[in-house]
Amino acid sequence: MAIASPENFDKEYLRQQVMDTYEHVAKDPDADYHFHRGPIYASEYLGYSLEELETLPRISTARFAGVGNPIAIGPINPGETVLDHACGAGMDILLAARRVGDSGHAIGVDMTQDMRDCARQGAEEAGLSNIVEIRKGMYEELPVEDESVDVVISNGVVNLAPDKLQVFKEITRVLKPGGRLYMADVIVQRELTAEARNNPDIWAACIGGALVEPELYELAESVGLENGVISKRFNCFLNTSAEQKVSKELFAHGVNFSASKRK
Ligand SMILES: C[S@@+](CC[C@H](N)C(=O)[O-])C[C@H]1O[C@@H](n2cnc3c(N)ncnc32)[C@H](O)[C@@H]1O
């Protein structure tokens, strides 16, 4: 299987583009972007409970930029360890922290300092600093011990990775045997043209690096994740400029996907 990756632009350049984009979101969440953000979007497009989001600090919810609802995929139990491998401003990791409770651990990793600062402040304001730990790092090389995590959550970030196999290997490495992946990411109906794949702007818009469905299943299986299933779809780009940048026929949309690590 050849998972499409950018060919004629520098991966470091792409990483910088992505970091610049999310630094900007952290500093100015209400500016004009090619994707939706915030708690109203999360509730109206993705099915989060607005009532619950309104109990969380705005510093985290206003900067939410996911494409699905991983928290709704399955149980997150008291006492468990949850990792969000690119947590942004931390909305999902705060929701997870509430579910694991005082006997659990909620770890958020992100490469963008401004996002980590928002996530830490969000945890503090929510009174969850005893449960939430925000770490600097990359999801290609997670600063997390082997087989230490019950649930990996992921929202809108795998599409941004030039090397998706490496990201999936890291998810599997940190999961305990039997541990679960609750992931939301962008899927396209058919493969993008080489031209679209090789356009860093379209990658940074969360579409250039999107997988087609069979690729997602194959990737998960190839690293030892089983029972992969797409359980829900979200029209997360409806009425955004990202939708206008690529053909509507591609039907770029968010999915909830879950899988578990073999015991
Ligand atoms: C689309 S936002 C999603 C953030 C969060 N999951 C949410 O739902 O709001 C993308 C986030 O992924 C982070 N990110 C992108 N590439 C990363 C990488 N290689 N390692 C760690 N974080 C990364 C960015 O810094 C940004 O905070």
Q: Using the atom order of ligand 1, give the atom closest to the CA of residue 115.
A: 27
pLDDT for position 203 = 80
Q: Using the atom order of ligand 1, give the atom closest to the CA of residue 86.
A: 22
Q: Residue ranges of the domains in the chain? A: 11-261
User: Do 84 and 142 touch, CB atoms closer than 8 A?
Assistant: no
* Helix residue ranges, H only, 126-193: 164-174
Q: Using the atom order of ligand 1, give the atom closest to the CA of residue 84.
A: 6
pLDDT for position 185 = 97
Q: Is 118 in the pocket of ligand 1 (CB under 6 A)?
A: no
Q: How many whole angstroms from 87 Cα to the centroid of ligand 1?
A: 6
Q: Using the atom order of ligand 1, give the atom closest to the CA of residue 167.
A: 19
- Which stretches of the chain are assigned E, i.e. beta strand? 81-84, 105-110, 132-136, 149-155, 175-187, 225-234, 253-261
Q: Is 64 in the pocket of ligand 1 (CB under 6 A)?
A: yes
Q: How far apart are CA 176 and CA 263, in angstroms?
A: 8
* Ligand 1 atom 21, closest CA: 138
C-alpha dihedral sign at 15, 18, 23, 24 = positive
Burial (0-12, 13-18, 19+ Cβ within 10 Å), 254: buried
Q: Is 156 in the pocket of ligand 1 (CB under 6 A)?
A: yes
Q: Domain 11-261 belongs to what topology?
A: Rossmann fold (3.40.50)
Per-residue tens of pLDDT for the chain, all 263 residues: 455 566 666 788 888 888 999 999 999 999 998 889 999 999 999 999 999 999 999 999 999 999 999 999 999 999 999 999 999 999 999 999 999 999 999 999 999 999 999 999 999 999 999 999 999 999 999 999 999 999 999 999 999 998 999 999 999 999 999 999 999 999 998 878 887 777 777 787 788 889 999 999 999 999 999 999 999 999 999 888 777 766 566 788 999 999 999 99
Q: Is 260 in the pocket of ligand 1 (CB under 6 A)?
A: no
Q: Is 117 in the pocket of ligand 1 (CB under 6 A)?
A: no
| Residues forming a β-bridge with 181 | 152, 259
Q: Is 234 in the pocket of ligand 1 (CB under 6 A)?
A: no
CA-based angle 261:230:248, to the nearest 5?
135
Q: Is 157 in the pocket of ligand 1 (CB under 6 A)?
A: yes
pTM (global) more than 0.85: yes
